[in-house]
Structure 1
Amino acid sequence: MEFVDILRGLTIVAMNLVNPPGDWSYVYSPLLHAEWHGLMLTDLIFPFFLFIVGISIGYFFKLI
Structure 2
Amino acid sequence: MRRTDFYERLTEVFGPAYAASVAADQVLPQLGGRTIDTALADGEEVHVIWRAVCDQYAERVPGRLR
| TM-score normalised by structure 1 residue count | 0.26
Larger CA Rg, structure 1 vs 2: 1
- How does the TM-score come out when normalised to structure 2? 0.25
